[in-house]
A = this chain, B = another copy of it.
């Protein structure tokens, strides 16, 4: 088992990464304060892992909420359903919530934990690659609004993150690829751990789910993430870099409707759009663009939305994003492979050109 620590002063917490962690009760229970525990999970994950985690919690007053599976249920309505259950079960401020599932379950459970009685404890047990490398770490919580993705939420850090990579055994290939998009994102952002080369060299074995490599990949992804979050918890600066590909990606998800593209699939296209714009802006070489595209393709990720969205709908959706400041769309671009930067003075014609190329 490997352990990382996200250093946020009195909100610091550990991230455990390894196999068989869902069999180790003490890892989980030492982060539970109070007597009441509720697991929030979904209909896909519950039959696989709910009983296993529940078995670790025999000494607590236990409750569970099983949600329908999918990004389209990440709404204020679902959050209110969880509030109702907490209140019906008389859960008080000393309770602990456990998010058992992917990013949707984690984001919603975290937001409920942030808002229930003005804040209770929660623990993340991510079961998808995407949530293990990205969304379970860093305290971003929230839900979607009909008019924009993740528009309602809070920063609320978990007490610990428990990443049992054995849960990936039951993850289908499309979901696994979706997680790979966020992994590849880290490799592009900063030069650290020689991560891009590691991914290039091992992409075949990683897609074949070689566990020793998966642990290394998740560990290094989380290292990338905590390095950035520790410097900028509330995303007033450097953390924005983690949104590489996301403003484009959110526009895809918003326009097509949640669920048509998985989050990571939309981010994959978004990364490539940011990459191409970076190239047109005179930063990345076309060779580097090709290398990035090649890696995304080898991870079985989509690289185009041609025929799916028209350019004007896409641009309109881009404008509803948390990176829009005073009407300007702030984008994350790449100076080169391994050096992302926040850009709000790109050439709008070049942005149009990229959007038209991808949306024709």
Contacts and interface: CB of A to CB of B under 8 A. Distances in A.
Interface of A: 34-36, 76, 80, 83-84, 87-88, 90, 92-94, 114-119, 140, 142, 145-148, 151-155, 234-235, 319-320, 322, 324-327
Contacts of A119: 154-155, 234
B148 A118 contact: no
Contacts of A155: 118-119
A92 B325 contact: yes
A319 B153 CA distance: 28
B94 A118 contact: no
B94 A325 contact: yes
Contacts of A118: 140, 142, 153-155, 234-235, 322
Contacts of A145: 80, 83-84, 87
A151 B92 contact: no
Given A115-B115, A142-B118, A94 B154 contact: no
Contact of A83 (B90, B92, B151): B151
B142 A320 contact: no
A319 B90 contact: yes
Contacts of A80: 76, 145
B326 A94 contact: yes
A36 to B, nearest CB: 8
A93 B320 CA distance: 11
Contacts of A235: 118
Contacts of A88: 147
Contact of A151 (B117, B140, B326, B327): B117
A314 B57 CA distance: 33
Nearest to A153: B118
A90 B327 CA distance: 8
Contacts of A36: 326
A147 to B, nearest CB: 4
A267 B204 CA distance: 66
A84 B146 CA distance: 8
A94 B326 CA distance: 7
15 contacts: A34-B325, A34-B326, A36-B326, A76-B80, A83-B152, A87-B147, A90-B319, A90-B327, A93-B325, A114-B154, A117-B322, A118-B140, A118-B153, A119-B155, A119-B234
Contact of A87 (B92, B140, B154, B320): B320
Given A93-B322, A325-B94, A87 B35 contact: no
Contacts of A327: 90, 92
